[in-house]
Amino acid sequence: MNYISVGKENSTNINLYYEDHGTGRPVVLIHGWPLSGASWEKQLPALLTAGYRVITYDRRGFGNSSRPATGYNYDTLTSDLNKLMTHLDLCDATLVGFSMGGGEVARYLGACGSKRVRSAVFMAAIPPFLLKSADNAEGVDGAVFDGIKQAIVADRPAFITAFLANFYNLDVLAGKRISDDDVRLSWQVAAGASPVGTLDCVTAWLTDFRKDLERINVPTLVVHGDADRILPLATTGGRISAHVKDSRLAVIAGGPHGLNWTHADEVNRELLAFLGKQA
C-alpha cells in the first residue's frame, strides 16, 4: 500500500493512503465525507481508458489513512493535498473535488495557486459558502449543523444510515440506479472512519471559500445534480460560476448528491468532455 507522511501526532506518523494508476496527464480525485477514495470506483476505469494518470487518496481520518485527533480544517487538509502533489511532483493536473473535496480544490487554488494545475472540477461540491450569514442569505442556518453534530455524537452508525438515504435519494433511486449492496458498501466505509474526524469535519463545512474561488484562474467545470438533498444546487454549485470567471455548470437531471455513483455515465461524459477540451 502507498502512503505519504504528512505530519506527526505524538509518537505516530500521520499517513495518507493514495493510489496512482495509469499514464498521461494527471487527474487527482478528492473524495467526499464520510467516504474514501474508493468512492471513485465508477470514474477510475473511464479515466484510465481515456489515457489519464489517475490519483486517488484518502483524507486524513478516512479510508485507509491515519486517524489523528486533529487537523480536520481546510487549511490542514489542503496542506495534506499540497504535500501529496509535491511528493508525486504532479504538474499540469486536473483537480476533481466531490462534495467536501471541493473545499480542498478551492482552498488549494486559492492558497497555492495554479502552478501545478491545468483545470478544476467541482462535483456536488460544498463551495462557495454554506453557512447563512448577513452577507450570505443563500446559506444554511447554523442550527442545522449543530443538529448534525448532535446526531453524530448520539449514534454515529444510525446517523450514517439516515445520511446515505438522502445522499443517494434511496426513496427514488434504490433498485434502479443503486443497489442495497452499494449502499451497504458506503455504510461500511463511512462507519470505519474516525469518529473524531467525522464529527470535526462538520465544522469545516462552514468555511467561506468565496475569496478562494475568485483567485481561480484555470478552466473550471461544475457538475451538480438538480435533486441533490445534501448540498442543494441553488445553495452551492449553482453559485460557483458567479465567483469563477472561466467556469461552466453542467446540471445532471435527477442527480442526487452521490451522482458520481448513481449517474456515473452522465458524470463521466461531462468529465471526459471537459478534460478533452484541455488537451
From CA 24, how far away is CA 27, in angstroms rounded? 9
Q: How does pLDDT run across 154-210, given as a tens digit for each residue?
A: 999 999 999 999 999 999 999 999 999 999 999 999 999 999 999 999 999 999 999
Strands (E), 114-208: 117-123
Residue 279's pLDDT is what?
74
Please answer whether residues 108 and 121 qualify as being in contact, where contact means their C-beta atoms are separated by less than 8 angstroms.
no
Whether the per-residue pLDDT at 214 is higher than 90: the answer is: yes
**What percentage of the chain reaches a pLDDT higher than 90?**
98
How confident is the model at residue 94, as a pLDDT?
98
- Beta bridge partners, 57, equal 18, 30
Domains of the chain: 2-277 (3.40.50.1820)
Q: Could you tell me the pLDDT band of residue 278, with boundaries at 50, 70 and 90?
A: confident
Asked if 43 contacts 267 with a C-beta cutoff of 8 angstroms, the reply is yes
Catalytic residues: 99, 228, 257
Mean pLDDT (whole number) for 221-225: 98
0.85 exceeded by pTM: yes
Q: What is the model's pLDDT at position 12?
A: 97
C-alpha cell at 252: 445532471
- Cell digits for 131? 453557512
Whether the predicted pLDDT of 1 surpasses 80: no
